[in-house]
Each structure stands twice: as C-alpha cells, then as structure tokens.
Structure 1
C-alpha cells in the first residue's frame, strides 16, 4: 500500500474522546496566556540542540489556541534556517513551501475547514519534507513514551510514512502546553513516537529508536 496516498485517519474511539477533552481545554485558555506562551515556547525550542544545528526545519503555522509557532518561525528564519511550511492538498496530504517572513503567508480557506495561513510562494512538492533535519508536528498531547495524539486528519501520519519510506530520520518535535504531557495516549500500528516535546516549563527528550 502506498504510504503517500493511503488515508490513515484514525477512528479510535478513545482518541476521539481525548481530542474533544484537550480541544475543550485549549478553547478555555485566556488569550493573554496564549500570547505569552508563544514567546516562551520559542525561547525553549531555540535551546534545543536539534534546532540549533538544523539547516532545514519543517514547521507549521499555529491556528486558534494552538501553542503558538509565530515567534519561533521568525527566530529560525532570522538566523538563516530554511523553514518549510505545509500547504494542505485536497486529499489531506501536504505540499510544502518556504517561509520568508510573515508577509509571505496567505490566508487560505479549505472546504469544511478553518482558514489556514500557508506560504504563498513556490510549491516544492510533498517530498520536500525529506530534506528536513527537524520536523515540528502539531499535536494535542504526548505521553511518557513520546507517543503523540494528533488531530486525527491523517496529514502528518502521511508525512511520517513518507519519511519512513525514504529512510529519512529527522528529529520529531512537538510543541504543547504543560498540561498536555500525560501518562498515556492510545496508539495504533501506524503511530510513531516523537523525539522531544517542548512546553513552557521545559523540554523533555524521548529515546530515539
């Protein structure tokens, strides 16, 4: 089965319940707390050895009350790191484009989804992520083993499958709020552990296989 086209969106009932709970907690966060977290997360993440030595980082633009990535994107770009941002395709796979500052982003509304900020320049193709030394993954939680709870759309499962099929081994990093690091999240056969989680209170690394 082709991992580049297979739809791996999960239907795990426990995951669906957890997603609702974590999304509800995020929606209740005060706006001031969300804004302050962006700066703290950027500072914590920039201290990661993986990001300090990365030539290319695949990242994403946070939306709503997600842990903010804007300050981190700007800091990486300012120090000369090549930053790739996703472009959502109709089948939920991801294309990529280069980040060249906030002015390079365009607001795109995909049918049935919230508006996303995406890079407005050249499309580099889904395989562009294979050049990344670090991949920042959106998530709702991570557990003590490094297993990530995503949103369930399958886009980043495809990215991870693409990396694995090509033998690429970038560092996988998740940005979360402190309360989103938990003892256990359900996993399925296609799930992969991340290598580090960054929260406002610090960084935790997990063993790389």
Structure 2
C-alpha cells in the first residue's frame, strides 16, 4: 500500500494559513501571510527538498494546486525542487475545477476520501500533501494520513486556519524524528500508529 504523508508549516499556536506570502491566502481577512519566510535558511530549504525528493506523487487541494501551478513552472531548469515538482504526478482534489492543465496533473472525481483511499491501494511510491488545508481536514476525518512532517516555526499568529480541527479522528502517533534548524524551526516527524492510549496521573496513582 502507498503511504500518504502530510507536510505542513505551522506556527507555534497551530496556524497553517499563508506561511509563504502576503497574498497566499487572505480568507477570513487574514493579514499575517508570509510569517514563515524570515525563518528559512539554506539548510532548511535543502531539508524540504530532500523530503520532496522522496515523493512519487503530490496530492493537492484547489488553492494549493493553483498556487503551485502558477509558480513552479517558472523555476529555473537547474532548480532540483522545481524539476521534481514539475515532473511528478499531481492529483488534485476540487469541487469547482473542471480540468487541470499543469503537466502530469489529474483531477480526482467523486468522493475525495474514497478516491484517495483507492490511490493508496494502487501501485507507486509515497504520496505527499503540501499545504492544502481544506483537503487535509477531509483526510484526517477519514484517517488516511500515515505520516506527518511538521515544521513548527517560533511565532504566534493568534488567528487563521489550523491543521487540526474538530473533525480530526483520535489516533496514536509515534515520533520518528525531531530536529531544530539554526533559526529555531522545530522539524518533527510523526508516524500513525495504533489508537490513543489513556491513563491517570496524580500521587494516588503512583504516576507523579
């Protein structure tokens, strides 16, 4: 079975909206676009590139697809991340698009969760979701995510779209890797594993 990985830029208070630019996503009057950019350095960009290189395909929501499709084809020919993203298969989940024109892109039809579950059952390597906050909520509700790659930036935003909302299915996770960039970005990898376990804490339980 193919694995599905979600990679997301997050503020410390869990906001994922518009990390890369002022006009990336102004839904809800969001005025903090571009909050992640000052914390990038060459080493962090290289790390994101290595993660992207692992992907066999991308799974994107409409807004992220349109943003990627308008910028990545402009990448220089020797840009390894651009070459990878432009060349690989892209699956697009949208209720409003009738077609997609970016090279190697396919528009998913019907129920998104069912379509993604079918993709995971097919042949091929890792499927990665970048951005695509609305799509991620559908994937979380259907418990389709196998791995989370979270880049947590040392900023508080206070408002905006968040990664985990009320539709998230309770799930157990195993921490696979944690590192910190030179600019204080915490890079955490969590793998889906089992159910949530519960206990009690206090002096009367011995767990204190």
Task: State TM-score, norm by structure 1.
Answer: 0.40
> Using CA pairs below 8 Å that are at least 6 residues apart, which structure has the higher relative contact order?
2
Query: Which structure has the larger Rg over C-alpha atoms?
Result: 2
Higher helix proportion: 1
